[in-house]
């Protein structure tokens, strides 16, 4: 157990920095186990005061400290270097030694695949040199680095100024970044890398050099990332008027990375899983994520780098906004409705449980222990939803005017969410005081909609109301203003009213629609216009009309999901309704036959609500009952639609060359969704189909689809497929991750022992975050039946992995804790087993602050 309870940092305690740093000169002598870092900082006192300068540092061996060229007295503690008696402006020079080879936390300067690389967000720069490691200290950086010539490429932010050879087989490079930036955007890479080069001509005719650096031999796999980058650059000019500023933009892929990717100025660093793709090794989902993450990091150049955060409480200022921008980009690239459905699925899968559990926090939190723990679905995905609502409430034009004003007013600054919202208030003339509540209040509101149809008067009265349940530390909730988009259909599916946006800006709202000559069917919360749980009294027969005919495709999908959810939950509660299930199967069959609908959309219709989604709707949640009931409905669909599905599967077979475009991906998605459904039914025809699907797969999407289906069907063909896949791909780390993940998803009763044994597989290495996540995160998040195994062994396994990983990489360990956090939502037996594992974790001697914060909050 930790003896020193870590103290939280509070927003209310924010103070401007006592000193500012204008210029930074860094000189790296790169050696894997003993890198020397000299720093020369131009420092300026911020205001009139006699306070000392307190610099941040972690794990640094201090070699020298000088002020204006002369040694200066200092106080050193493990995390601070304190200097007193300083003039108003001065040059501070320090030299430290660090050990990148021993850096397993992957924060600061570390080594991945034999190359030096960095990760400084949020507080990693302090592991490189003594500094004011806070985002409101913006400086211009010049970076010199030297290394053995075997570290072929020497990269840092900005523009390359100089390179040269040095005695002893060494070489050097000097980089300068003209844009002032906070330390968290610093980056350096050194090592052998292949280069993919291209150019982009901006809207004002400037030519930008583009470079993607990858492992030797991998350049062809960077082509899609490069293509995505160029499309993102163009899109940001068109959609937001944002032009790239430097003359060079670089991306580097590394294998060992705690998160997805990082927006360092002019030198983005990516987890290779989110950068490398070709048909053979990457799935369509990988392509889609690469496109969106490349865009996300690029978009940060304006929303994050040019305008950054004053402090880490403002994280959503850059993250929620940049997710909103990347989601808008993906919608333009791949189709709005399908993108919206996927975004909402992700929000519900990750953010809604967070908002309903012990780790709930506002989009802008007011305290934290480790900021690393706040890179959450709430800050990212809910943060994006809040911006989306803002756009809906203000309209596209006023929204754009607000964004333009933000870029103009705050360029070059470290600012706040208040300042951001003020731009929209000023640009639109609207009072956004109440809207700001979305940033400060945690929890998902529940919006209830009731209907009163008066046939004689031809009026429909809608009564909306909202409530939000208490969350930890926030018992009283207020009503938040939210856009409620809705439309009306008649029983034949003909539109009676186009989409209209009402604003629920208090606890209750009544809307009266008149002039209706037929009973209307309500299509509520179109496009998921607000991130809320909707409770409505829409009858199943009306939801079938919505599923078949709503002009809003999101709500078509939503209607289908709602119908399926009710059927599954009824079954899980021991009240199966077989007649209704047949009716549902028929409706799905009709949706599949709809010639006008895109395959990607049909694939989404075909997928039943996920088990975690269903668990959110059942209290207390019983994962075994949910799994069984969901499979029963799948089986009903598979049997009822069997011939249609098999025909569809054959019809969608694609003999042509692979193309990652959205339409081709949509066809593969539908074909794989069909196979997924059929795999619940071990009918010989289905087994043969799955074997063929796997064996003739010409791309990774189909190979994984086939492997998943065979694993679910079980037996000898599953064993053969698992072995064949491993044999073929054992030399490809990213594909091997998929092999671990596919087995981690195996929900069959006897799978648990096998999954646990995979940690002993020679290819398993828990210190590589991608491999750890492939096995452990996949298991905990995507295999609820086995994670919640009644034996409790699934929980114990995840806790074991958290404890083991914490000793080497606290940040990655902490990201697994949330999987146990929902323990109060499960049956008492399961909840107790989950809680016991959390208790075991917090009792560990020397636990990191990261894991301590989340595990102790989860128990509180």
Q: Does 119 bind ligand 0A1 (CB under 6 A)?
A: yes
CB of 300 to ligand 0A1, least distance (A): 7
| Binding of residue 240 to ligand 0A1 (CB under 6 A) | no
**Residue 785's binding partner, choosing from ligand 0A1, Zn ion, none, with beta-carbon cut-off 5 to 8 A by kind?**
none
CB nearer to Zn ion: give 319 or 613: 319
- The residue within the footprint of ligand 0A1, chosen from 14, 240, 259, 407 (CB under 6 A), is 259
Could you give the CA distance from residue 635 to residue 680 in angstroms, rounded to a whole number? 6
| Secondary structure of residue 187 in the 3-state scheme | coil
Minimum CB distance to Zn ion smaller for 304 or for 353: 304
Rank residues 122 and 709 by Cβ distance to Zn ion and give the closer one: 122
* CB closer to Zn ion, 299 vs 739: 299
Which CB sits closer to ligand 0A1, 444 or 812? 812
Which residues does 45 contact at the CB level (< 8 Å), separation at least 6? 18, 19, 86, 87, 88, 89
| Candidate list 291, 319, 598, 631; residue touching ligand 0A1; CB under 6 A | 319
Q: List the one residue from 156, 262, 841, 858 that touches ligand 0A1 (CB under 6 A).
A: 262
262 binds, among ligand 0A1, Zn ion, none (CB under 5 to 8 A by kind): ligand 0A1
Task: Looking at residues 318 to 337 of the shown chain, list those that interact with Zn ion (rule: CB under 5 A).
Answer: 319, 322
Which x/- pattern over 598-637 shows residues binding ligand 0A1 (rule: CB under 6 A)?
Answer: ----------------------------------------
- Residues 300-319 as x/- pattern, contact with Zn ion by CB under 5 A: -------------------x
326 binds ligand 0A1 (CB under 6 A): no
Shortest Å distance, C-beta 181 to ligand 0A1: 13
Q: Could you give the CA distance from residue 532 to residue 530 in angstroms, rounded to a whole number?
A: 6
Do the Cβ atoms of 220 and 241 come closer than 8 Å?
no
Site membership for ligand 0A1, residue 746 (CB under 6 A): no
Q: Are 617 and 569 in contact (CB under 8 A)?
A: yes
Tell me how far, at minimum, the Cβ of 184 lies from Zn ion, in Å.
12
Residue 156 or 262: the one with the smaller Cβ distance to ligand 0A1 is 262
3 state DSSP class of 662 = helix
Shortest distance (Å) from residue 322 CB to Zn ion: 5
* 375 makes contact with ligand 0A1 (CB under 6 A): yes
Nearer to ligand 0A1, 53 or 347 (CB): 347
Return the number of the residue (308 or 610) whose C-beta is nearest ligand 0A1: 308
Select from ligand 0A1, Zn ion, none the partner in contact with residue 183, using the beta carbon and a kind-dependent cut-off of 5 to 8 Å. none
**Which residues make Cβ contacts (< 8 Å) with residue 827, sequence separation at least 6?**
620, 621, 622
Tell me the Cα Rg of the chain: 28
The long-range contacts involving 253-256, CB below 8 angstroms and separated by at least 24 positions, are 253/212, 253/213, 253/214, 253/215, 253/218, 253/222, 254/112, 254/113, 254/115, 254/117, 254/189, 255/112, 255/113, 255/215, 255/733, 255/768, 255/770, 256/106, 256/110, 256/112, 256/113, 256/768, 256/769, 256/770
Q: Least Å distance between CB 262 and ligand 0A1?
A: 4
Return phi, psi of residue 13, to 5°: -90, 5
Minimum CB separation of residue 431 from ligand 0A1 in Å reads 31
Identified binder of ligand 0A1 from the candidate list 93, 121, 385, 712, rule CB under 6 A: 121
Site size for Zn ion, by CB under 5 A? 2
Q: ∠ CA 228-233-239 to the nearest 5 degrees?
A: 115
- Residue pair 812/769 in contact (Cβ under 8 Å)? The answer is yes
Nearest approach in angstroms of CB 246 to ligand 0A1 is 18
Using left for φ > 0, alpha for ψ between -120 and 50, and beta otherwise, residue 515 falls in: left
In the complex, minimum distance from the CB of residue 196 to Zn ion, in angstroms, rounded to a whole number: 23
Among ligand 0A1, Zn ion, none, what binds residue 258 when CB lies within 5 to 8 Å by partner kind? ligand 0A1
Q: What's the closest the beta carbon of residue 319 comes to ligand 0A1, in angstroms?
A: 5
Question: Which of ligand 0A1, Zn ion, none is residue 119 near (CB under 5 to 8 Å by kind)?
Answer: ligand 0A1
Which range touches ligand 0A1 (CB under 6 A), out of 30-38, 207-215, 252-260, 686-694?
252-260
Tokens encoding 283: 């799935």
Q: Judged by CB under 6 A, how many residues of this single chain contact ligand 0A1? A: 13
| Contact with ligand 0A1 (CB under 6 A) among 132, 214, 261, 675 | 261
Nearer to ligand 0A1, 269 or 603 (CB): 269
The token duo for 629 is 């009931």
Nearest-approach distance from CB 259 to ligand 0A1, in angstroms: 4
Q: Is 245 exposed, middle or buried (0-12, 13-18, 19+ CB in 10 A)?
A: middle
Report helix, strand or coil for 666.
Answer: helix
Burial of residue 91, with CB atoms counted within 10 A of its CB: 0-12 exposed, 13-18 middle, 19 or more buried? middle
Residue with smaller CB distance to ligand 0A1, 124 or 520? 124
Q: Any idea of the CA torsion for 339, 345, 348, 351, to the nearest 10 degrees?
A: -60
> Which residues carry out catalysis?
297
Please identify which residue in the block is written with the tokens 């699907």: 693
Per-residue x/- track, 329-368, ligand 0A1 (CB under 6 A): ----------------------------------------
Q: Which is nearer to Zn ion, 322 or 783 (CB)?
A: 322
801 contact choice in Zn ion, ligand 0A1, none (CB below 5 to 8 Å, kind-dependent): none
Shortest separation between residue 579's beta carbon and Zn ion, angstroms: 48
In this structure, what token pair is assigned to residue 196? 């993919």
Question: Exactly one of 103, 142, 157, 258 binds ligand 0A1 (CB under 6 A); which one?
Answer: 258
Q: How near is the Cβ of 536 to Zn ion at its closest, in Å?
A: 34
**In residues, how long is the chain?**
860
Question: 280 to 299, contacts with ligand 0A1 by CB under 6 A?
Answer: 296-297
* 141 contact partners, CB below 8 Å, separation of at least 6: 24, 25, 26, 156, 157, 158, 175, 176, 177, 181, 186
- Using the rule CB under 6 A, which residue among 56, 93, 263, 712 binds ligand 0A1? 263
Query: What 3-state class would DSSP assign to 51?
Result: coil
Ranges within 839-858 binding Zn ion (CB under 5 A): none
Nearer to ligand 0A1, 319 or 789 (CB): 319
Q: Which of residues 814-833 bind ligand 0A1 (CB under 6 A)?
A: none
Distance, in Å, from the CA atom of 429 to the CA atom of 423, rounded to the nearest integer, reads 10
Rounded CA separation 369/5 (Å): 10
DSSP output for 188-253: EEEE--EEEEEEEE-TTS-EEEEEEEESTT-GGGGHHHHHHHHHHHHHHHHHH-PPP-SSEEEEEE
What is residue 610's DSSP assignment? P
Find out whether 384 and 530 touch, Cβ atoms under 8 Å: no
Q: At 827, phi and psi to the nearest 5?
A: -55, 150
Residues 1 and 215: their CA atoms lie apart, in Å, by 42
List residues near Zn ion by CB under 5 A.
Answer: 319, 322
List residues near ligand 0A1 by CB under 6 A.
Answer: 119, 121, 258-263, 296-297, 319, 375, 811
């Amino acid at each position: 157990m930790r003896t020193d309870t870590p103290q939280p940092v509070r927003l209310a305690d924010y103070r401007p920095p006592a000193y500012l740093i204008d210029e930074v000169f860094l000189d790296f002598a790169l050696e894997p186990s003993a890198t020397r870092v000299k720093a020369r900082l131009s420092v300026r006192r911020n205001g009139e005061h006699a306070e000392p300068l307190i610099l941040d540092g972690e794990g640094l061996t201090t070699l020298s400290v000088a002020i204006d060229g002369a040694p200066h007295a200092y106080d050193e503690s493990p995390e601070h270097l304190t200097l007193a008696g300083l003039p108003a402006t001065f040059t501070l020079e320090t030299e430290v030694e660090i050990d990148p080879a021993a850096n397993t936390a992957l924060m600061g300067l570390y080594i991945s695949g034999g190359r030096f690389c960095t990760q400084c967000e949020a507080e990693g720069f302090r592991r490189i040199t003594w500094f004011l490691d806070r985002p409101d200290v913006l400086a211009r950086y010049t970076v010199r680095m030297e290394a053995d010539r075997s570290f072929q490429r020497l990269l840092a932010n900005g523009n390359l100024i100089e390179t040269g050879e040095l005695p002893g087989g060494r070489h050097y490079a000097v980089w300068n970044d003209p844009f002032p930036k906070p330390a968290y955007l610093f980056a350096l890479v050194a090592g052998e890398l292949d280069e993919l080069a291209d150019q982009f001509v901006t809207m004002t005719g400037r030519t930008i050099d583009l470079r993607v650096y990858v492992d030797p031999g991998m350049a062809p796999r960077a082509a899609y990332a490069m293509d995505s980058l160029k499309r993102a650059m163009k899109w940001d000019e068109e959609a937001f008027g944002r032009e790239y500023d430097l003359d060079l933009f670089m991306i580097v892929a590394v294998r060992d990375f705690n998160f997805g990717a990082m927006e360092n100025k002019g030198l983005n660093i990516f987890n290779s899983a989110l950068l490398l793709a070709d048909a053979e090794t990457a799935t369509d989902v990988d392509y889609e994520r690469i496109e969106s993450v490349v865009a996300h990091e690029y978009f940060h150049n304006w929303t994050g780098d040019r305008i950054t955060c004053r402090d880490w409480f403002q994280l959503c200022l850059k993250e929620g906004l940049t997710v909103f921008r990347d989601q808008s980009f993906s919608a333009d690239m791949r189709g709005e409705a399908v993108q919206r459905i996927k975004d909402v699925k992700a929000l519900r899968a990750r953010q809604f449980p967070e908002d309903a559990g012990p780790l709930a926090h506002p989009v802008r939190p007011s305290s934290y222990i480790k900021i690393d723990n706040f890179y959450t679905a709430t800050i990212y995905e809910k943060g994006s939803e809040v911006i989306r609502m803002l756009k809906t409430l203000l309209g596209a034009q006023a929204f754009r005017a607000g964004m333009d004003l933000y870029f103009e007013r705050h360029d070059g600054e470290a600012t706040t969410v208040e300042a951001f919202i003020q731009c929209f208030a000023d640009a639109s003339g609207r009072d956004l005081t109440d809207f700001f509540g979305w940033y400060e209040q945690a929890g998902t509101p529940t919006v209830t909609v009731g209907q009163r149809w008066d046939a004689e008067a031809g009026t429909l009265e809608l009564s909306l109301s909202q409530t939000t349940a208490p969350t930890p530390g926030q018992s009283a909730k207020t009503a938040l203003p939210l856009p409620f988009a809705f439309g009306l259909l008649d029983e034949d599916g003909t539109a009676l009213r186009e989409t209209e946006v009402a604003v629920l800006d208090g606890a209750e709202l009544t809307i009266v629609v008149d002039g209706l000559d037929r009973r209307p069917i309500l299509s509520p919360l179109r496009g998921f216009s607000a991130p809320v749980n909707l409770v409505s009294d829409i009858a199943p027969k009306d939801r079938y009309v919505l599923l078949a005919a709503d002009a809003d495709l999101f709500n078509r999908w939503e209607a289908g999901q709602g119908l399926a959810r009710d059927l599954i939950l009824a079954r899980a509660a021991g009240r199966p309704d077989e007649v209704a299930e047949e009716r549902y199967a028929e409706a799905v069959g009709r949706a599949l036959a709809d010639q006008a609908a895109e395959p990607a959309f049909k694939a989404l219709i075909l997928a039943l609500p996920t088990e975690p989604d269903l668990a959110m709707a059942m209290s207390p949640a019983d994962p075994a009952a949910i799994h069984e009931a969901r499979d029963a409905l799948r089986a009903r669909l598979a049997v009822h639609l069997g011939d249609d599905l098999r025909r569809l599967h054959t019809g969608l077979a694609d003999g042509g060359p692979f193309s990652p475009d959205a339409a081709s991906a949509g066809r593969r998605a539908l074909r794989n969704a069909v196979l997924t459904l059929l795999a619940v039914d071990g009918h010989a025809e289905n087994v043969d189909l799955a074997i063929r699907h796997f064996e003739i797969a010409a791309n990774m999407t189909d190979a994984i689809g086939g492997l998943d289906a065979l694993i679910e069907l079980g037996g000898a063909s599953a064993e053969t497929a698992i072995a064949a896949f491993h044999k073929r791909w054992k030399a490809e780390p990213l594909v091997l991750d998929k092999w671990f993940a596919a087995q981690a998803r195996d929900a069959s009763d006897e799978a648990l022992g096998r999954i646990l044994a995979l940690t002993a597989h020679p290819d398993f290495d828990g210190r590589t975050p991608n491999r750890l996540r492939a096995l452990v995160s996949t298991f905990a998040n995507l295999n609820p039946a086995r994670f919640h195994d009644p034996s409790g062994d699934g929980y114990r396994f995840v806790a074991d992995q958290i404890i083991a990983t914490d000793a080497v990489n606290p940040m990655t360990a902490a990201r697994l804790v949330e999987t146990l956090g929902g323990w109060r939502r499960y049956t008492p037996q399961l909840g107790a087993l989950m809680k016991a594992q959390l208790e075991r974790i917090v009792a560990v001697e020397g636990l990191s602050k990261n894991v301590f914060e989340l595990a102790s909050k989860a128990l509180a």
